[in-house]
Structure 1
Amino acid sequence: HIKRERAKAREMRASSWWRQQIGKGICYHCEQRFPREELTMDHLIPLSRGGKSLKKNIVVSCKQCNSHKKT
């Protein structure tokens, strides 16, 4: 499951939808503005908990919020 979903996430990173999302430059969690290189793809429901790589489960997250979420 996880391997397949990670492959889908990689495909999604190349999509125009993702470029549009990350182009907004705003973190979903803290709502702050960041340069593109400081933003990551974040699964609301992690793949490790059965989440899927679907648009409704993927948000733009700053690196700090994304790593903070894991602790």
Structure 2
Amino acid sequence: MKFEPENSDHFEVIVPPESREYKREKERARELRASAWWKRKRATGICYYCRRQFPPAELSMDHVIPLSRGGKSVKENLVPCCKDCNNKKKNLLPIEWTEYLESLRGNHDP
């Protein structure tokens, strides 16, 4: 069975985007995006999820545990990822799209 993250509407939103907490975490992410730490992390050019190489400018900041699911804008929860993976992951937790990741890495049985 092939995993289709775009069809996964079953996740529960814990922190609504209009909440003060969500906005505060988005602001923290913006601050970290301007930091030397993030510039070094993105400079590797490797997407955290699919492990493919990209020009660093093409990588975006992703919350491994999404803000809407209770994640925080802290270094341990922020990773560089390609636009394709970011769009497919959406608000999923890593465990919810492990099958998709395995298929990207060639570890998934057909």
What TM-score, normalized to structure 1?
A: 0.96
Query: Which runs of no fewer than 5 residues in structure 2 stay unpaired?
Result: 1-20, 92-110
The equivalent of 2:58 in structure 1 is 38
What TM-score, normalized to structure 2?
A: 0.63
- Percent identity of the aligned residues? 58
Query: Which runs of no fewer than 5 residues in structure 1 stay unpaired?
Result: none
Deviating beyond 6 angstroms after TM superposition, the runs of 4 or more aligned structure 1 residues are none
Q: Kindly report which structure 2 residues correspond to 1:43-62, keeping only aligned pairs within 5 A, or say none.
A: 43-62=63-82
Distance in 2, matches of 1:13 and 1:38, equals 14
- In our comparison, the structure showing a higher alpha carbon Rg is 2
More strand by share: 1
Residue 50 of structure 2 aligns to a residue in which SS? coil
